[in-house]
Amino acid sequence: MRYLLIPLIVTACGAQDLTNNKPAQRAGAAAMNASPGVEHSVTGSGTQEIAPGFEYAVSVAVHSDASGRVWGDGTTRIIDLTAYGYPGSGVMQMKPECMRVVGNDAFIRFIITKSFDENFAHVGDRAVFWVRDGGPGGADVGHSGPAPFLDPGNTICTTTPAALSPDAISGNFIVH
């Protein structure tokens, strides 16, 4: 049941020209201090109401440097999952494992670090988030969910994954 509910965790169509062809790896504190600077970043927050009874909010602040190290965090707030028979709500926290930016698309794989309900998601589970920055005044789209279903080959940070549903996001994400 928890994998049916995780699609709300985090949000893949992409351009073919890569701005960074290597995967970004998770950075420790020492590695972050040695970073030459931010090369890519994804920041913002938004709400996705996919269908009646299927709504969540996500916020991310993830950065990578030129050597591929990644740091930051993500938060998902479950608003309504009654479409899946889940009556609760809650907040999950995540840390990025890797990130790849292709034009105005960002692909992130997260590891859940705090779950409000172990029946929903376990600490250590992986999730993916994809967002396309629509630019100033433009609409952002994205998709998210459990990595075992949306990224079974763990390729989201190394190649452009298969197309994910470009669901509208009410909010604003900036991909740089």
Q: What is the mean pLDDT of the chain?
A: 80
Query: How many distinct structural domains can be found in the chain?
Result: 1
Query: Which residues constitute the domain of residue 130?
Result: 2-171
In this structure, are residues 110 and 127 in contact, taking their beta carbons and an 8 Å threshold? yes
Q: Note the helical H segments in the chain.
A: 2-5, 29-33, 147-150
Q: What percent of the chain has pLDDT over 70?
A: 78
In a domain, 42, yes or no: yes
Q: Assess contact for 36 and 122: CB atoms under 8 A.
A: no
Of 1-5, 115-119, 172-176, the one with minimum mean pLDDT is: 1-5
Is residue 119 in a domain? yes
Domain-located, residue 80: yes
- The stretch 89-110 carries a mean pLDDT of 93
pLDDT at 141 (0 to 100): 93
Are the C-beta atoms of 167 and 11 separated by less than 8 Å?
yes
44 - beta bridge partners?
60, 173
Task: Report pLDDT for 134.
Answer: 94
Cα 29 to Cα 22, 69, 70, 97: the distances in Å are 21, 11, 11, 14
pLDDT at 137: 85
- Provide the whole-model pTM: 0.77
151 belongs to a structural domain: yes
What is the reported pLDDT for 30? 36
The gap from C-alpha 61 to its chain's centroid, in whole angstroms, comes to 10
Report helix, strand or coil for 40.
Answer: strand
Residue reference for tokens 């991310």: 60
In a domain, 176, yes or no: no
The pLDDT of residue 149 is 86
Residue 15 lies in a domain: yes
pLDDT band at residue 130 under the 50/70/90 scheme: very high
How many whole angstroms separate alpha carbon 120 and alpha carbon 110?
A: 16
| In a domain? residue 7 | yes
Q: Averaged over 143-162, what is the pLDDT?
A: 84
In-domain check, residue 8: yes
Q: How confident is the model at residue 166 (pLDDT cuts 50, 70, 90)?
A: confident
